[in-house]
């Protein structure tokens, strides 16, 4: 997924970048979560290690002051977003909302949250995400079986629960909304399954729906890249879709 650095680099700093990507432009990343504390253990995870702590519990790992102090060393001129991302799921940081507020007070750069979408059914997470200028939520299948195989979620996270959370959040979110659908061969690569997911997401009028094919081996090293051409019809059917 976006803006990940190698494990060694992640350990060095809670701030990283600037990173350039086709999807979000130039970003400075903030990692509010220790390495692979996550609500998913995705088969496609680019960090290539299993999740260390599989959890839905929110904790504060890094203080707002630490973030602001570290961020002072990074020039933000010409940066498109300050992104809450990193090597775990950023919405598991209990102080995410406070960090967003503090960034807004100090910087004019828009704040983006790159979330795996697993916690969007939680009311406190929805409230804090609304503070962000842009939010990216990943949602890769409406089918429970595919969702479970792909994301290997923490107990209590299901595709239907996440879909309901997306409905609640996205129908009234005023910022820029991005969705991501990760497609893995043999799990959710069937065009009709991807189309149903895209149809569901398109109703919320997102800025983009990115169909992402994991480019590097994940924790399941047998992953094969699905054929990009297969999904090109969706770019024509849905203006928001981009296939990567």
Contacts to ligand SF4 by CB under 6 A: 1, 38, 40-42, 45, 47, 51, 88-89, 116
- Give the whole-angstrom CA distance, residue 112 versus residue 95: 15
What string of H, E and C letters represents the secondary structure of 13-59? Answer: CCEEEEEEECCCEEEEEEECCCCCEECCCCCCCCCCCCCCEECCCCE
Q: Which of residues 1 and 84 has its CB atom nearest to ligand SF4 in the complex?
A: 1
Nearer Cβ to ligand SF4 (89/210):
89
In the complex, least distance from residue 27 CB atom to ligand SF4, rounded to whole angstroms = 16
CB of 237 to ligand SF4, least distance (A): 27
Closer residue to ligand SF4, CB minimum distance, 109 or 147: 147
| Closest CB to ligand SF4 among residues 47, 109 | 47
Helix spans in 130-231 (H): 144-151, 159-170, 191-202
Least spacing, CB of residue 50 vs ligand SF4, in Å: 8
- State the minimum distance, in angstroms, from the CB of residue 233 to ligand SF4: 27
Residue 220 Cβ, how far from ligand SF4 at the closest point, in Å?
12
For ligand SF4, give the closer residue by CB, 88 or 226: 88
- Dihedral angle, C-alpha 28, 33, 35, 37, nearest 10 °: -140
- Residue 151 beta carbon to ligand SF4: minimum distance, rounded to whole angstroms: 7
Query: Tokens representing 210?
Result: 């990115």
Cis bond leading into 18, ω under 30°? yes
> Under a CB-based contact definition with an 8 Å cutoff, are residues 24 and 66 in contact?
no
Of the pair 51, 76, the CB lying nearest ligand SF4 is at 51
- Count Cβ neighbours within 10 Å for each residue of 68-94 and write b for 16 or more, e otherwise: eeebeebebeebbbbbbbbbbbbbbbe
């Amino acid at each position: 997924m976006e803006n990940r650095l190698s494990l060694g680099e992640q350990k060095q700093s809670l701030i990283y970048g600037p990173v350039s990507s086709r999807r979000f432009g130039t970003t400075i990343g903030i990692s509010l979560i220790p390495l692979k504390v996550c609500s998913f253990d995705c088969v496609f995870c680019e960090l290539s290690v299993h999740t260390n702590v599989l959890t839905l519990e929110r904790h504060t790992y890094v203080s707002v002051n630490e973030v602001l102090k570290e961020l002072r060393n990074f020039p933000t001129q010409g940066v498109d977003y300050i992104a809450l991302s990193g090597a775990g799921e950023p919405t598991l940081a209990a102080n995410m909302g406070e960090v967003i507020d503090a960034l807004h007070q100090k910087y004019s750069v828009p704040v983006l949250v790159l979330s795996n979408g697993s916690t969007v059914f939680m009311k406190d997470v929805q409230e804090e995400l609304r503070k962000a200028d842009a939010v990216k939520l990943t949602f890769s299948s409406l089918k429970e079986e595919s969702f479970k195989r792909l994301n290997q979620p923490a107990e209590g996270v299901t595709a239907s629960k996440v879909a309901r959370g997306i409905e609640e959040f996205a129908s009234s979110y005023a910022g820029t909304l991005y969705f991501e659908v990760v497609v893995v061969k043999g799990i959710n690569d069937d065009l009709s399954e991807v189309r149903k997911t895209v149809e569901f997401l398109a109703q919320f009028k997102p800025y983009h729906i990115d169909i992402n094919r994991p480019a590097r081996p994940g924790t399941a090293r047998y992953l094969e890249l699905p054929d990009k051409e297969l999904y090109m019809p969706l770019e024509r059917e849905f203006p928001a879709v981009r296939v990567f």
